[in-house]
Every structure is written in C-alpha cells, then in structure tokens.
Amino acid sequence: MPALVLLGAQWGDEGKGKATDLLGGSVDYVVRYQGGNNAGHTVVVGDQKYALHLLPSGILSPGCTPVIGNGVVVDPAVLLSELSGLNERGVDTSKLLLSGNAHLITPYHTTVDKVTERFLGKRKIGTTGRGIGPTYADKINRVGIRVQDLYDESILTQKVEAALDFKNQILAKLYNRRAIDVAQIVDEMLGYAEQIKPFVADTTLILNNAIDEGKVVLFEGGQGTLLDVDHGTYPFVTSSNPTAGGACTGTGVGPTKINRVIGILKAYTTRVGAGPFPTELFDKDGEALRTIGGERGVTTGRDRRCGWFDAVIARYATRVNGLTDFFLTKLDVLTGWEQIPVCVAYEIDGKRVEELPYSQSDFHHAKPVYEMLPGWSEDISKAKTFSDLPKNAQAYVKALEEMSGAPISAIGVGPGRDETIEINSFLS
Ligand code: GDP
Ligand code: IMO
Ligand code: MG
C-alpha cells in the first residue's frame, strides 16, 4: 500500500493532524500538498500537545520524512519559527524536505489579505489573514515568488518588482495604504534563504522514486472538501484544492500511483469563517458541542460554528474525492445525548434532495431533514475495539457509514494517539 491521501471531508478541523500522526509511525514520508499556515492541526502525543500550522504532522514521528510539496504556500518566517519551536521541545526536524517550486507568502500577501477582507465588509470570507488567497492569486497570475527564487538575488528582485508594481498602485490609490518597498521585501526574503536552503529539494523526483521503491507515502490535506476552491462552497472557501486531486498537482505524483483516499469525518460538523452551513445550531446543543468538543480554532482562536452530522456532505466528499475509507473522529464528544439528530437529506423549496445541490442559491436555502438516532451515556474513551462501544454508539457509526458511501475504517474516541479504534488497517 505505497501511497495514500488523507484529507478533510467537511469544512476542516476534522482531526486530520491526529489521524496523520497516528499513521506517521508506519509511513516513510508525510507530504503536505496544498494550503499553508492557515491550517491548524493539534496533535497530542502522551502528555505533550503540539499545534502545527505549516509543517506536515509526520514531523513528530522520528522515522518519517516530512515533505512540503510544490502546491503549498510557505511563509518563510512561520516555517522557521515553527521549526525552532519544535527543536526547543526536542523534536528533530532535520529531515524536512521543501519543494523549490512552492510559492512564498511575503508580508505584502498578508497585508493584501487583511485589507481585502476589511474592504469586503459584510461580504468578507472570514479568512485566517495569513496571506493564503493573495499568494495563490499571484501564482495563478504568474507574478508569484518561489522558494528557488531566494537563491538568485537578481531574479528575486525582478519578480518582487513585477509583483509590487501593480499591487502598490492598488494599495496606495484604492486602499489608501503606504506602498511597499521592493528592497525591503527582497532583503527580508534573502535573510531567510540560507536557513531554509538545507531543506530545499526536488521533492517530485524524491516522492516518485520512493513510491517506485515500495516506500509508504502519506499525502496530508489541509482544510477540507467543502473549502476547496473548485468543489467547495465558493466563494466561502480557501484558495487551494484540499480534495484528492490536489495531492497530484500539489506534489507531482500521478493519480495512478495513489492507492487509497481516506476522508477524515467528524461525528458532527464544524465550520470557521463565513458561508452556508445547513446543520448549524444556534442553541444549547451547538454550545454543548463547542464546549465538549473544544471547538476553538487552532490558528485564529475563533469559536467554531457547530452543528449536527450532515450525511449529504459526507456523500459528496466520497464522490468528489473517490474516498476508499472514512476515519470518523470525535465520537466521544457525542456521549450524553439522549437522541442524536443526523441530517440525511435537504429540503429545498419543499422538495427532498439527497445530493449536494450544485446551485449556490439552492444550497443557501437547504433545510436539513433530520433522522433521530438513539444516543448513549457510557464513557467510550477507553474503547479499543468496535465491540467495546455501547450498542447505540455502534448503531450510530453503522448508520453514518451506510449514509456516507464508504467504509468507516477507524474511529476516534479521544484526542490522544491511542484513543482510536482501528477497524480496517489503512496500510494493508
Ligand atoms: P485538523 O485541522 O483537521 O488537524 O483538526 P484540528 O486539530 O484543528 O481540530 C481537531 C481537534 O480535535 C484537535 O483539538 C484534536 O486534538 C481533537 N481530536 C482529534 N480527534 C479526536 C477524537 O477522536 N476525540 C476528541 N475528543 N478529540 C479529538
Ligand atoms: P485545517 O487544516 C478550518 C477557512 C477560513 C475561511 C476560509 C478562507 O486546520 O482544517 P483562508 O485564510 O484559507 O483564505 O480562509 O477557509 N479555513 C479553515 N477552516 N480549518 C482550516 O484548516 C482552515 N483553513 C482555512 O476560516 O473561512
Ligand atoms: Mg485545524
């Protein structure tokens, strides 16, 4: 089983970090393929808690080589501070590999991100303010700066000039901000170059060779399916492709080399930032999910919006990612409810709809159709096998599996590495 993708099946924060870390001990490479430090993954190892943003969660597994692929956008200041933070805690980060083709987030990208949001006012996306959208926009617009540009001062200067030429006009004339100085940006970027150099590599070649040699490679998505710029709830999305295809474009590994695609699925639903969310709760149940589930953003500290499980979304994630398995997380959070509502379909303009509507207007009007499933009150955090779960928890998992279109191969019953029920091995 050489290559697998692990990605978010909802709106992010499904517990991808924990799932990746869990497999990290048995894989040779863990590769981020899109997004940047907008991600926030909490990984709990024993009594240690780590918050990772840019680095792949495999960095915490000693035998594993962490890789940042070409599809990732990299803020060099964040990269270096995340590395030194881990080094101070005794984590060896020397094996990290960084694609020379990855694009760099510079201070002007974060400025443009924040200014744009401010000017959108009520229509803002609620971005993380990390410069993600503007960096991908420059990449597509062919005025981006890549990691490899750090090693040619003349090219770097020309590219920063090209990027700022237009942006400075907008910043000064439209947004009434000070223009950004080219030399200052170039100096700052060159200041990171030597520290980053040992990590820079031809990651596409290395990963393809590794797969050909039978090594196990895990592609770790940031964000989630519904935040995908093509397949998500546009425009309330991030600016990259967290869906499975992103693993190919974001690393240079072809789809024929990927054997398994695992969707990380929370036993309920959360979302950060603006945009439609049919099962969102505004009552005490929503508050209870937020409190019990610890649903506060790892990156921005914002409260996450919470709601019941939405099977329409899970089915959609199965379809657009070609999921082979689900990893159901945070089942323990649902302990204590007498009955648990699950959204099985939507009602749109009086009609029952089973699949995610492609029309944004329909999705905005979608009302959840709920089925009530019996809850359980027993503590499940010590369960090691499926049969250790109370009957109603087993039935909840089976019902979700039936509705979602792919087998649930693992279940999270707590944040720790060992608080997981493995049903089918991901690596066999
Ligand atoms: P990611 O962005 O998908 O990696 O997810 P986050 O780390 O942002 O959010 C998931 C949160 O849930 C983290 O605080 C995890 O430690 C925690 N978590 C993951 N799996 C479980 C689980 O099965 N049960 C509980 N109670 N917490 C979990
Ligand atoms: P992880 O990897 C949840 C959301 C933001 C905003 C939208 C666009 O931890 O699951 P951006 O800064 O990316 O341009 O913001 O996407 N968002 C996330 N929500 N989890 C994440 O990452 C997210 N990364 C971005 O809140 O709505
Ligand atoms: Mg997160």
Give the residue whose CA is nearest to atom 23 of ligand 2. Answer: 223
400 domain residue, yes or no: yes
Contact residues of ligand 1, CB 6 A cut-off: 8, 12-18, 39-42, 44, 294, 298, 329-330, 332-333, 412-415
Q: Is 399 exposed, middle or buried (0-12, 13-18, 19+ CB in 10 A)?
A: middle
Say yes or no: CB of residue 222 within 6 Å of ligand 2. yes
301 domain residue, yes or no: yes
Categorise residue 289: left if φ over 0, alpha if ψ from -120 to 50, beta otherwise: alpha
245 domain residue, yes or no: yes
Is the domain of 253 the same as that of 399? yes
From 168, 198, 228, the end of a domain falls on 198
Catalytic residue among 41, 103, 109, 231: 41
Q: How many CA atoms lie within 13 A of 262 on its CB side?
A: 27
**Of 307, 215, 222, residue with least CA distance to 264:** 222
Neighbours of 230 (CB within 10 A): 12
Q: Say if CB 107 and CB 192 are below 8 A apart.
A: no
Q: Is 364 annotated in the active site?
A: no
By three-state DSSP, how is residue 12 classified? coil
Atom number, ligand 1, closest to the C-alpha of residue 298: 8
For 159, the token pair is 């590219």
Q: How many domains does the chain have?
A: 2
Q: What is the CATH number of the domain that holds 281?
A: 3.90.170.10
Is the domain of 236 the same as that of 131? no
Is the domain of 326 the same as that of 375? yes
Domain of 155 in residue numbering reads as 103-198
Is the domain of 235 the same as that of 334? yes
Q: How far is the CA of 89 from the centre of ligand 2 (A)?
A: 27
* Beta strand residue intervals within 114-273, DSSP E: 200-201, 217-220, 260-266, 269-271
97 domain residue, yes or no: no
Which residues sit opposite 217 in a β-bridge?
Answer: 3, 29
Cα–Cα distance list, 330 to 5, 24, 205, 294, 388 (Å): 20, 20, 37, 10, 16
* Torsion sign, CA atoms 188, 191, 192, 197: positive
Say yes or no: CB of residue 19 within 6 Å of ligand 2. no
Q: Is the peptide bond before 278 cis (omega within 30 degrees of 0)?
A: no
Is the domain of 334 the same as that of 363? yes
Is the domain of 232 the same as that of 364? yes
For helices 182-196 and 107-120, angle between their N-to-C axes, nearest 10 degrees: 120
Bridging pattern class, strands 305-307 and 309-310:
unpaired
Say yes or no: CB of residue 10 within 6 Å of ligand 2. no
Neighbours of 288 (CB within 10 A): 16
399 domain residue, yes or no: yes
Which residues sit opposite 74 in a β-bridge?
Answer: 104
Is the domain of 293 the same as that of 345? yes
**Of 109, 94, 105, residue with least CA distance to 201:** 94
Q: Is 109 annotated in the active site?
A: no
By three-state DSSP, how is residue 145 classified? coil
Backbone torsions φ then ψ of 295, nearest 5 degrees? -85, 75
Degrees, nearest 5: CA angle 274-266-113:
30
From 148, 167, 198, the end of a domain falls on 198
345 domain residue, yes or no: yes
User: Any idea of the CA torsion for 68, 73, 77, 78, to the nearest 10 degrees?
Assistant: -70
pLDDT tens over the chain, length 428 residues: 689 999 999 999 999 999 998 898 899 999 999 999 999 999 998 899 999 999 999 999 999 999 999 999 999 999 999 999 999 999 999 999 999 999 999 999 999 999 999 999 999 999 999 999 999 999 999 999 999 999 999 999 999 999 999 999 998 998 888 999 999 999 999 999 999 999 999 999 999 999 999 999 999 999 999 999 999 999 999 999 999 999 999 999 999 999 999 999 999 999 999 999 999 999 999 999 999 999 998 788 889 999 999 999 999 999 999 999 999 999 999 999 999 999 999 999 999 999 999 999 999 999 999 999 999 999 999 999 999 999 999 999 999 999 999 999 999 999 998 899 999 999 87
Is the domain of 300 the same as that of 418? yes
Is the domain of 142 the same as that of 244? no
Amino acid, res. 178: R
428 domain residue, yes or no: no
Mutate which of 120, 127, 239, 329 to test ligand 2's pocket (most atoms within 8 Å of Cβ)? 127
Give the residue whose CA is nearest to atom 2 of ligand 1. Answer: 13
Report DSSP state, residue 234. Answer: T
From 153, 181, 198, the end of a domain falls on 198
By three-state DSSP, how is residue 185 classified? helix
Is the domain of 143 the same as that of 254? no
Q: How far is the CA of 155 from the centre of ligand 2 (A)?
A: 32
Q: What is the CATH number of the domain that holds 117?
A: 1.10.300.10
For 134, the token pair is 């503007």
Report DSSP state, residue 296. Answer: B
30 domain residue, yes or no: yes
pTM listed for this prediction: 0.97
Is the domain of 193 the same as that of 215? no
Is the domain of 297 the same as that of 377? yes
Helix (H) or strand (E) holding 22: helix 16-24
